[in-house]
Structure 1
Amino acid sequence: MKKSFAARTAFGLGLLLGSGSALAATTLTIGTVNNGDMVRMQALSKTYTEQHPDVELRWVVLEENTLRQRLTTDITTGGGQFDIITIGAYEAPMWGRKNWILPLEKFSPTYDVDDLMPNVRKQLSVDGKLRALPFYSEGSITYYRTDLFAAKGLKMPEEPTWTEIRGFAEKLHDPSKNVYGICLRGKAGWGENMALVTTIVNAYGGRWFDEKWQPQLDSPEWSQAVNFYVDLLSKFGPPGPSSNGFNENLTLFNAGKCAMWVDASVAGAFVTDKTQSQVPDKVGFVKAPRQVTPKGSSWLWTWALAVPSSSKQQQAAFDFIQWATSKEYANLVAKRYGISAMPPGTRLSTYANAEYMKATPFARVTQEAIQTANPDSPTLKPVPYTGVQFATIPEFQAIGTLVGKSISGALAGSSKVDAELKKLNESVQRTIKRAGYIK
C-alpha cells in the first residue's frame, strides 16, 4: 500500500506523526461552496481516498452565503466542526492573523509553491506565510453572445464601458424570444451582489471609505453607479433579478437567455462546456466594463482551502488540501473533463502551457484580469483599506451584507436608491465609529 503523504511530511506548526507509525482511520469534514469546480473536486476525491484508504471524506456543500455564515460562526468560536474549510482572499489574511487557521509550511517537494501566481499567493498570506492554498482564482470579465452581436451588426470592444454595455443591452433585449439584454448578480450578499456592485462603484470613481474611514455611500459616485445598475438590470435583465446570484445567472446564460453577463472568469469553463451549455461555441470574452476609470473595475477573488486550528486532524487535512490544489489534481481534471476545465488562475505553469492557452478561449482575459487587479490600490481615489470588491476589515462582512440587502431591495422595487444610500451611509458610519476607525 502506498504510504500516505501525511506519514512522510511534517506539518507547518511542527506537528509530526510518530516515525514508522500508521495513521488510524481518519475522517476529514470539508466545508465547501456549491460552485461547479468544488462539485468536481468532490467527484474526483474518490481518486484521493483510493490512494489513502486510511482517510474518509465527509462533505458539507452549501450555498455561498450559507457557507460563509456557518464557517464564520465555527471558526470564531473554535467549534471544530470542520477540518478543511473553503475561504477566500477576504478571510485568509484576517483569520490567519488571529491564528484561527494554520500556517502552511513544509510542502511536498512536488507541490511547487513557487508556481503559484504571485498576486494570488499574496492575498492568502500573512507575513509571507501561506494560510490557505488556492483552489481556483478569478477576476471578473464580460461574457457576450457572438451570434447575437453579429446578427445586430454590433462589435464588442476589448475594453467596454458600462455606458456601451447598456447600449448593447438595449439593442439585444428581446424577452419575446427569451433573450435578455444582460444578466447580473442581484442576490443579496457581500460576496454576491456586492462583489459586482462594488466594481461598478469603483469604475465610476467611487470607494467604500475615504482616507479617514468616512463612509462614502452618499457620494455622487455611489449614486451614479447604483442607479445605473438598478436601471440597467430592471429594464434589460431577466425577470426577478434580485433572486439571481452566480449560479442562477450561469444557468440562464447556459440556457441561451443572456446576451451578456459580467461575472467571475471561472464561469468560462462552464459556458464553453458542450455538456452544460447550449451556446458553447457562441461566447466571446472581454474585460470587465470600466467607466471613468479601469481601477477596481474587475474584482480579484480566490477560493482557497485552509485548515482550522480547531481541527483534530491537521496533518491529514494538510495532506488533502495539497492534493486538491496540486498540478496532479489539475491534470486529473484535464483528463476527466478536458484541458479547459483545469482550475484557473492559480498556477503560472497553466498559462505557460501552449495547449491550454490554445484550447481555452477565456484564458488570456482571465490571466490579465488576475494579474492587473491591485487590492493594495483598488480605487481612483486613495483608500485606507485593501481589497478590490471588499474592504479587508472584520466589520465588512456585516456591512456588505446590510448594503447588499438594501440594494437588492431597491432592485426589486421596494425602495429608492438615493434614500437607501443615505440611510446606509449613516448606518455604516455608526458601525465604523463603534469599531474605533473614526475617532
Structure 2
Amino acid sequence: MNVRALMGACALGLIAGGAMAETTITVATVNNGDMIRMQGMMGDFYKLHPDIKVKWVTMEENVLRQKVTTDVATKAGQYDVMTIGTYEVPIWAKQGWLVPLKFPASYDVNDLLPAIRKGLSYKGTLYAAPFYGESSMTMYRTDLMKKAGLTMPEKPTWAFIKKAAKAMTDKKDGIYGICLRGKAGWGENIALITAMSNSFGARWFNEKWQPQFDTKPWKETLATYLDLMKNYGPPGASSNGFNENLALFQQGKCGMWIDATVAASFVTNPKDSKVAKDVGFAMAPHKQGVDKDGNWLWSWALAIPAGTKKAKAAETFVEWATSKEYTELVAKKDGWANVPPGTRTSLYKNPDYAKVPFAEMTLKSIEKADPEHPTVKPVPYVGVQFVAIPEFQGLGTAVGQQFSAALAGRETGAQALKNAQALTTREMSKAGYIK
C-alpha cells in the first residue's frame, strides 16, 4: 500500500471511530437579543470544538413553544438542543422527555443562583442550564418623569403608575405613558397579567383547583390593566409582545415599560436605544395594602431532548453557552452590561458587573420572587406568572386570547373574565382536577 492510500485508510478509520467526524447539532431558540448575540459568538465555540457545527432555528416566542413541545413529546429528534424555561423543565423531566445534565466540576453548578437552579431541576437533578435568568421590573424614562414633576419610588404602586402614565402621555408627539404586553400567549400577555394579578391578591385556582376569574381581585386586575393600556398605551397594543414593546421603548415611544429585567441591557445600549442615557429602574408595581409584589421568575435555558441522537455534542454546546467563560467572552467583546444576566452568584459579586446600572435591581427582583407562594392566599400550584401543570400551556393561551380581545375592544373586560372562568372550569373538569 502506498503512503497516500495508507493515509486515506487511516483517515477513514478515524472518521469511523468518531475521533474526527463532524457532528452537526440543531438548536431551536427564541428570537431575542441575547440569543441572537450568542449566534455571533460561534467562531469562538468552533475554535474550541472544530468537530461540532451548530445549525440555528430561530423562532418567535409563541411559535418556538409550539414547535419544541410537539417535538419533545413525540421524541421526533428534530432538535438536539431546545430553548425552554422554568415552566417546562420539571414537567418534561418528570415525563422522561429531557436528558439530565452532567457537567464537569469546572462548570460549578453550585454557582447558579439558587432560585434559578431549583426551577430548572427535577428531584434535585439539573435538566436544563440557564442561559439567562430574569424577573420583571419597571423601566422608565427619567427625563419624562422629571418633566412630569414626579419621582419614581423604588417600589411603586399601581396607583402611582397610573398617575405617572397619565402625566407622561403626549399622543401628539407619539409618546405613550405605558407599554405592556398585549399579544395573546401564556408566555406573553398572561405572564404579565398573572404576575400583576398576584399583586392584587388574585389566584388562578383556589385550593380545590376551582378557577377564580369571577373574584374581585381578578376584576380589579383586568380593569387596571385595560384602563392603563386603553388610555395611556400605544395603538395596536393587542399585537405587542416583548420584542414589539422593546422596539417602542428604544425609539422613545414609551414613558414606562413593565417587563423582563433582561430588557435592561437593550434599553440602555446607545447603539440600539435613542433613550439609553435617560432610563431608570424600579421594582414591579404592587397594589397599596396588598403585601405581594407583581414580579415574576423565569429563565430561558438550554435543554437536551431525549429524542436526540447527538446528546454528547449537544451537552458540549450547552456547557459552553452557559459557562462562566461565555459570560467573560461577551463582556470582553460587548461590555459587562451585555452579558446574560440572572444566572450566577459570581456575576453579582463581580465588581465590574456591580457598576452596571440595572444589576442590583435585577438581583433584588429575582430574589424577591416566590414561586411556591405566588400570591396572598394559599394555592395548590407552583409558579409566579404561570401554573406549573401540563394543561397550562393551552389554558394560558386561551385566557390570553380573551384578555387580548378585551384590549382590542372586541369584548368587555367583564365578558373576558366570564369566558375565562367558563373555559378554565371546563378544561380543569375534563382533566380531572375538579371532582
Q: TM-score, normalised by structure 1?
A: 0.94
Amino acid at match of 1:399: L
* Structure 2 counterparts to residues 253-268 of structure 1, below 5 A: 253-268=249-264
Aligned residue among 344, 347, 359 for 1:350: 347
Q: Deviations over 1:109-150 (max 9, x none)?
A: 321111100010000000100000000010000001111111
Aligned residue among 69, 72, 77 for 2:74: 77
Rg bigger for which structure? 2
Aligned residue among 25, 28, 31 for 1:31: 28
2:9 is aligned to: none
Instruction: Give how far 1:43 is off.
Output: 1.1
Aligned residue among 290, 298, 309 for 1:293: 290
Q: Is the 8 A contact 2:26 2:55 kept in 1?
A: yes
Matched, 1:371 2:391: no
2:394 is aligned to: 398
CA distance in 2, matches of 1:206, 1:273: 36
1:6 is aligned to: none
Q: Is the 8 A contact 1:159 1:286 kept in 2?
A: yes
Instruction: Give how far 1:108 is off.
Output: 2.4
The DSSP-based 3-state class of the residue aligned with 1:65 is helix
2:11 is aligned to: none
Q: In the comparison of the two structures, how many residue pairs are matched?
A: 419
Q: TM-score, normalised by structure 2?
A: 0.95
Q: Deviations over 1:177-205 (max 9, x none)?
A: 11110011001100000000001111111
CA distance in 2, matches of 1:276, 1:109: 38
Amino acid at match of 1:333: V
Amino acid at match of 2:77: G
* Structure 2 counterparts to residues 10-409 of structure 1, below 5 A: 22-105=19-102, 107-291=103-287, 292-295=289-292, 297-358=294-355, 360-409=356-405
The DSSP-based 3-state class of the residue aligned with 1:182 is strand
Q: Deviations over 1:54-81 (max 9, x none)?
A: 1111000000000000001111111110
Q: Which runs of 5+ in 1 are unaligned?
A: 1-17
Instruction: Give how far 1:281 is off.
Output: 1.0
2:10 is aligned to: none
1:15 is aligned to: none
CA distance in 2, matches of 1:265, 1:61: 22
Instruction: Give how far 1:38 is off.
Output: 0.3
Instruction: Give how far 1:294 is off.
Output: 4.6
Instruction: Give how far 1:427 is off.
Output: 1.1
Instruction: Give how far 1:315 is off.
Output: 0.6
Please identify which structure carries the higher helix content: 2
Aligned residue among 406, 416, 419 for 2:415: 419
Q: Is the 8 A contact 2:402 2:419 kept in 1?
A: no
Q: Is the 8 A contact 1:241 1:411 kept in 2?
A: yes
The answer to which of 385-394 and 426-435 deviates more is 426-435
CA distance in 2, matches of 1:378, 1:23: 50
The DSSP-based 3-state class of the residue aligned with 2:178 is coil
Q: Which runs of 5+ in 2 are unaligned?
A: 1-14
Amino acid at match of 2:170: D
CA RMSD of aligned residues (A): 1.2
Q: Is the 8 A contact 1:218 1:418 kept in 2?
A: no
CA distance in 1, matches of 2:186, 2:295: 16
CA distance in 2, matches of 1:293, 1:28: 48
Q: Is the 8 A contact 1:296 1:374 kept in 2?
A: no
2:4 is aligned to: none
Q: Is the 8 A contact 2:285 2:293 kept in 1?
A: no
Instruction: Give how far 1:222 is off.
Output: 0.7
Amino acid at match of 1:246: F
Amino acid at match of 1:341: N
CA distance in 1, matches of 2:160, 2:136: 17
Instruction: Give how far 1:21 is off.
Output: 5.6
1:4 is aligned to: none
Amino acid at match of 1:378: P
Amino acid at match of 2:390: P
Q: Is the 8 A contact 1:307 1:318 kept in 2?
A: yes
CA distance in 2, matches of 1:419, 1:144: 32
CA distance in 1, matches of 2:362, 2:172: 33
Q: For the structure 1 residues 23 and 101, does the alpha-carbon distance in structure 2 shift closer, same or farther, using more than 3 Å as the test?
A: farther
Amino acid at match of 2:309: K
Q: Is the 8 A contact 1:158 1:286 kept in 2?
A: yes
Q: Is the 8 A contact 1:140 1:299 kept in 2?
A: yes
Question: Deviating runs (4+, > 6 A) in structure 1?
Answer: none
Q: Deviations over 1:413-436 (max 9, x none)?
A: 000111221122111011111111
CA distance in 2, matches of 1:294, 1:246: 27
- Structure 1 vs Structure 2: percent identity of aligned residues? 53
Amino acid at match of 1:78: K
